């Protein structure tokens, strides 16, 4: 399928606060509406959001009838809502949909924050497949339907902290990474998991740019125990809707305790390996972008501090600055992964 760019969201389309006050009933009602819409040939955008007792969010645009494959639609009609407590819910105000989809780092589509949303309109995600390789019992190439079919979708509301010292709060839709990896039966030699992003010179202007600083394809990696942690998430949507291409359609990684560049987009290859894999930013500038890339306010980037962050949205007159937390506030779930490690050295 071709996922089309979201159109402008008008003020009249902002979802009323009252719609969200009984969140679980809203989820049930929108699920029923979506099932009816499938029968009619289209799936409406579902605005799934929360902000404590006062739930506010911009509603996502409706989907084009030609966008989703038929097998995918029922999954979005039965999304399990995020719980009302952590770690899969933050209680913080959500970043508006239009900011989440228009302020992006996805250098395959360009270097500026607005380039991914402007330049990704021709990016094709159907057909899509993912190669599973390396130290596992079930290597092969699997279609997107093969990948998603066994998994129920759920909502998780995570903080996203960029290494550039800005942050968002995003309601993702997807399933645990561990559930996916276990299906391919990693062996005892699989100590790391390597991921790779799609490369398409025809639809990704950043890939063919003579000014590109990345050695394509974009690559990232996790230790196997990190990948199996309950927080690691494979996202196929946000705000109850399919992922737009600028956000990593059709499937991406979300690792909320690490800087955003670890959450690789538009995945086409997952490789189980014994040795620590090369990763794109670490290869480019190792003294600035470590392999682990855990959010750490005590370890500053060589060119800026990391103990505070700008929470989006912000304007010329309002730039909310908040303190950055170790592991982006998810230390209770992940600190044990790094016991005994010097986090200033293994940054």
Domain boundaries, the chain: 90-338
Strand order in the sheet with 129-134: 140-143, 129-134, 267-273, 192-197, 219-223
Residue carrying structure tokens 């402007």: 118
At 225, is the secondary structure helix, strand, or coil?
helix
pLDDT for the residue 346: 96
The tokens describing 149, both together, are 């079919």
Please tell me the CATH superfamily of domain 90-338, with its number.
Oxidoreductase, molybdopterin-binding domain (3.90.420.10)
| 282: enclosing H helix or E strand | helix 280-284
For position 19, what pLDDT does the model report? 35
Strand partners, 193: 222, 272
Give every CB contact of residue 159 below 8 A, 6+ residues apart in sequence: 90, 92, 167, 168, 169, 256, 328, 329
Closest CA to 60 of 47, 43, 51, 74: 47
Residues in the chain: 347
Structure tokens at 156: 């998780």
Per-residue pLDDT of the chain (347 residues), as tens digits, is: 444 333 333 333 333 333 333 444 444 444 433 333 333 333 223 333 333 332 323 333 333 323 457 788 888 888 999 999 999 999 999 999 999 999 999 999 999 999 999 999 999 998 999 999 999 999 999 999 999 999 999 999 999 999 999 999 999 999 999 999 999 999 999 999 999 999 999 999 999 999 999 999 999 999 999 999 999 999 999 999 899 999 999 999 999 999 999 999 999 999 999 999 999 999 999 999 999 999 999 999 999 999 999 999 987 788 899 999 999 999 999 999 999 999 999 99
The answer to whether residues 172 and 237 touch, using CB atoms and an 8 Å cutoff, is yes
* Beta pairing partners, 142: 130
| Coil/strand/helix, residue 236 | strand
């Amino acid at each position: 399928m071709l996922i089309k760019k979201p159109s402008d969201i008008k003020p009249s389309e902002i979802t009323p606060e009252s719609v969200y006050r009984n969140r679980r009933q809203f989820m049930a009602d929108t699920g029923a509406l979506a099932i009816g819409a499938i029968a009619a040939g289209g799936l409406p955008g579902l605005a799934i959001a929360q902000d404590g007792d006062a739930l506010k969010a911009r509603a996502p645009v409706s989907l084009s009838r030609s966008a989703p494959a038929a097998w995918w639609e029922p999954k979005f009609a039965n999304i399990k809502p995020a719980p009302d407590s952590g770690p899969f819910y933050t209680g913080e105000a959500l970043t508006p949909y239009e900011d989440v989809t228009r302020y992006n780092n996805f250098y395959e589509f360009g270097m500026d924050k607005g380039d991914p949303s402007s330049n990704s309109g021709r990016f094709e995600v159907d057909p899509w497949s993912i190669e599973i390789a390396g130290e596992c019992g079930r290597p092969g190439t699997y279609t997107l339907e093969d990948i998603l079919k066994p998994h129920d979708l759920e909502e998780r509301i995570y903080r996203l902290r960029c290494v550039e010292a800005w942050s968002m709060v995003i309601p993702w839709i997807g399933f645990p990474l561990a559930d996916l990896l276990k299906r391919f039966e990693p062996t005892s030699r699989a100590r790391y998991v390597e991921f790779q992003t799609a490369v398409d010179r025809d639809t990704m202007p950043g890939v063919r740019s003579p000014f590109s600083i990345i050695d394509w394809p974009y690559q990232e990696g996790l230790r196997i125990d990190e990948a199996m942690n309950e927080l690691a998430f494979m996202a196929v949507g946000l705000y109850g809707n399919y992922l737009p291409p600028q956000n990593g359609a059709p499937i991406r990684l979300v690792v909320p305790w690490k800087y955003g560049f670890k959450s690789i987009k538009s995945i086409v290859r997952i490789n189980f390996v014994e040795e620590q894999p090369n990763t794109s930013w670490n290869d480019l500038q190792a003294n600035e972008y470590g392999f682990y890339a855990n959010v750490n306010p005590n370890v500053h980037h060589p060119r800026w501090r990391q103990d505070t962050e700008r929470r989006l949205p912000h304007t010329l007159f309002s730039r909310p600055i908040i303190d950055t937390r170790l592991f982006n506030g998810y230390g209770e779930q992940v600190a044990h992964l790094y016991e005994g490690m010097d986090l200033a050295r293994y940054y």
